[in-house]
């Protein structure tokens, strides 16, 4: 095995460890979704069994507006996690994202750890690559890799803060936009651009739209800190970057800005409850994504625990719809709401 491949495999293993013990959350930052107040409706004139949670994103319909976002692949354990969580997503009518497929491009024998189609033949399945890998691999190889796992879309992650916190991380971020534009024009599958927890804000959103991107995953601040994960892996090394633990765009601000830029938005980064999902949809998102809590539940109690967690989020969303008098998600996206506190100040201060 080459040195790069060895490093990638070790990193993928290290990345799972903290999520067996509660994850690596933001320190002081929050998602700011708590600053979106939905107007309570004491006279909803609705029955619980007539609620419609369906939505559309990246050219597909979903029974409910949730996505388990990309986490893992490249080891036998990762393969089990992918297959079992993809099956849960399929049962609930949600989307499922594979973790970065870089490992399988470096070592094709790892392909099996990304192959979930036997367990989840119909789930909406997103492949995943860093923009820097997209730049070097070229479209033909990427297309081949996506076909080998039966992906319906490609998530391209942008993660400059995480890379800077990794001693072996990328340091050259030039030419990533051109690689994304090429994929949008020539891949033949929807391209969803995401962050990994520092958020896509207005500037990135506008640039992406100009490159032809239609679908984005905000992956904002307030949930898992990937600078934090990388710093924790290295112990005392790289402490100069500790101040970036909570760096980035809070999820609610990212969602509002990306929607304003005309993009179709998945809200993620610290989304934990059905009320979080409802608040993100009221900001204009089409669906919401969760990563760390799903993996944490899986480590505690297997796929059944992950399914219970996601079911609980959907139960909370249904309650929020009833309490705001919204029969479907179109109504929720237009529901009366107030933006308060720092979220309001942030959006008013934009220039």
Ligand X SMILES: Cc1cc2nc3c(=O)[nH]c(=O)nc-3n(C[C@H](O)[C@H](O)[C@H](O)COP(=O)(O)O)c2cc1C
Residues binding ligand X (CB under 6 A): 15-16, 19, 69-72, 99-100, 128, 155, 157, 194, 196-197, 219, 223-224, 268-271, 290-292, 295
The helix (run of H) or strand (run of E) holding residue 265 is strand 264-268
Residue 34, Cβ density class (10 Å: 0-12 exposed, 13-18 middle, ≥19 buried): middle
Alpha helix positions (H), 288-340: 292-323, 329-333
Alpha helix positions (H), the chain: 3-16, 76-92, 102-106, 131-137, 139-149, 160-165, 176-186, 202-210, 226-233, 251-260, 274-282, 292-323, 329-333, 341-349
One-character DSSP codes across 196-227? SSS---HHHHHHHHHTT--EEE---BTSB-HH
Instruction: Please identify, using beta-carbon distances, which residue of 291 and 343 lies nearer to ligand X.
Output: 291
Location of structure tokens 């080998």: 148
Q: How far is the CB of 104 from ligand X (least distance, A)?
A: 12
Q: How far is the CB of 222 from ligand X (least distance, A)?
A: 7
The DSSP code for 56 is E
Instruction: Please identify, using beta-carbon distances, which residue of 57 and 325 lies nearer to ligand X.
Output: 57
Q: How far is the CB of 81 from ligand X (least distance, A)?
A: 9
Residue, CB closest to ligand X: 223
Instruction: Please identify, using beta-carbon distances, which residue of 246 and 324 lies nearer to ligand X.
Output: 246
Q: How far is the CB of 43 from ligand X (least distance, A)?
A: 35
Instruction: Please identify, using beta-carbon distances, which residue of 55 and 69 lies nearer to ligand X.
Output: 69
Q: How far is the CB of 12 from ligand X (least distance, A)?
A: 8
Kindly tell me the sign of the dihedral angle through the C-alpha atoms of 76, 136, 228, 26. negative
Q: How far is the CB of 248 from ligand X (least distance, A)?
A: 11
Instruction: Please identify, using beta-carbon distances, which residue of 104 and 335 lies nearer to ligand X.
Output: 104
Instruction: Please identify, using beta-carbon distances, which residue of 87 and 104 lies nearer to ligand X.
Output: 104
């Amino acid at each position: 095995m080459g040195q790069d491949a060895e490093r990638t495999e070790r990193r993928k293993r290290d990345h799972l460890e903290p999520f067996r013990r509660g994850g690596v959350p933001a320190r002081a930052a929050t998602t700011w979704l708590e600053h979106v107040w939905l107007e309570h409706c004491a006279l909803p004139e609705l029955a619980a069994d007539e609620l419609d949670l369906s939505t559309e994103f990246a050219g597909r319909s979903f029974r409910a507006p949730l996505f388990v976002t990309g986490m893992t692949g490249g080891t036998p354990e990762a393969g089990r996690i992918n297959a079992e969580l993809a099956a849960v997503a399929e049962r609930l009518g949600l989307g499922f994202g594979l973790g970065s497929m870089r490992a399988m491009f470096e070592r094709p024998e790892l392909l099996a750890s990304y192959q979930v189609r036997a367990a989840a033949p119909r789930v909406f399945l997103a492949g995943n690559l860093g923009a820097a890998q997209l730049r070097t691999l070229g479209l033909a190889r990427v297309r081949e890799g996506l076909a080998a796992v039966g992906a319906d879309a490609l998530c391209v992650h942008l993660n400059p803060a995480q890379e800077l916190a990794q001693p072996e991380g990328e340091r050259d971020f030039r030419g990533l936009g051109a690689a994304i534009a090429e994929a949008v024009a020539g891949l033949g599958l929807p391209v969803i651009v995401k962050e990994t927890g520092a958020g896509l804000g207005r500037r990135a959103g506008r640039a992406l739209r100009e490159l032809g991107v239609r679908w984005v995953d905000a992956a904002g601040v307030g949930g898992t800190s990937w600078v934090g994960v990388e710093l924790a892996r290295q112990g005392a090394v790289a402490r100069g970057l500790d101040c970036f633990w909570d760096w980035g765009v809070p999820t609610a601000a990212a969602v509002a800005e990306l929607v304003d830029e005309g993009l179709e938005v998945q809200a993620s980064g610290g989304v934990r409850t059905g009320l979080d999902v409802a608040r993100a949809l009221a900001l204009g998102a089409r669906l919401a994504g969760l990563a760390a809590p799903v993996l944490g539940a899986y480590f505690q109690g297997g796929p059944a625990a992950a399914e219970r967690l996601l079911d609980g989020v959907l139960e909370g969303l249904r309650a929020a719809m009833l309490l705001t008098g919204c029969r479907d998600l179109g109504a929720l996206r237009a529901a009366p709401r107030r933006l308060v506190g720092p979220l309001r100040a942030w959006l008013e201060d934009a220039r």
